[in-house]
Structure 1
Amino acid sequence: MAKGSAKRIAGQNEQTIKTLRLGMIVPTIISLLLRFFFRRGSLPPSKGSLALYVLTYFPALFLSRYLETMGTSRRDPTTGTLLSSGEDLSQPGVTEWCFDILYVTWACQIGSGAFGEWFWWLYLIIPLYAAFKVWSNFISPMLGRSSAPASGNDAATEKETLSKRQEKLRKRGERGDPRVRSVRK
């Protein structure tokens, strides 16, 4: 059973790595084609445009290589048996954030080719989201500001924590059903 799971993860990772490799090439080609067909005035790209492209391409390349090495499966060279499936590239957390950064980078590359250099402002989503996560997970709790509602009504919070079965038993007990033993203090 565990080997089946490892094989499934290895297969998903191989497909994801193929997509990553294409994703590092295809947005550049699409951006150049969009510039050529729809925005000929932007050819050749300005120095600022090239600087933005290079400045965002290197982190994307680094993240792509990181995900690729993390998710690459290892096989026995002689028998081809799966030794390690690699880390699951569909797991939440840092892996998911790496993919998000790659997707935003690719969208900015294509969007700048189609709509203009102002589209790179979309890239600010990444540091804004990081600041939001830092604030909500670290800074706000240290300042004593929690987003949890104040527990003014204990009966309301008790109702929310009861399961359906517990709620049924409570209602039966209120009606005096003999199947329910009521423990009174």
Structure 2
Amino acid sequence: MARQKAPAKRAQKQPKSSGSTRAASVKSSKKKILVKPPPSSEDEIEPEEELGGSGLLNNQPGDPVTTQKKRKVRSGTKALREIKKFQKNTDLLIRKLPFARLVREIVQEEFGNDADYRWQSVAIMALQEASEAYLVHLLEDTNLCAIHAKRVTIMQKDIHLARRLRGE
């Protein structure tokens, strides 16, 4: 007695239509599998073709979106970069207009509100240059005091010590 095998079901092909996004269904004995037909050259342009075949862009619609991870920068790298940047340029560090307002305010407090002095822009620029040079030099000495105390962070007591050593 020979057993006869049941005839296997074959995939039924449906006629092609002009739409490229249509999915043809293939039936098997146990599960249903959806097969997507390849896009025709008329409907879609390949990403490689857009970039001249370089293959830089290989993303297809439906691919998971990947985001680039931020690179972790070592601590202190940004500070060193800023130090190098500020050492290279000779520009003023304080904005001109706020500094000019501060100078006018100090003059009004010292000489009274009725005194309305006019300032040349060159005079305010000279005051700003001198004050920034003084502050930079003071902070350099303050940093040396902090380093002498085996610290890297400057504190108020370092500023007081630097001014005392200068005789101010």
More helix by share: 1
User: Could you say which structure has the greater relative contact order, defined with CA pairs below 8 angstroms and 6 or more residues apart?
Assistant: 1
- Which protein is bigger by CA-based radius of gyration? 2
- TM > 0.5 between the two? no
TM interval, shorter chain, is under 0.3
TM-score by length of 1: 0.23
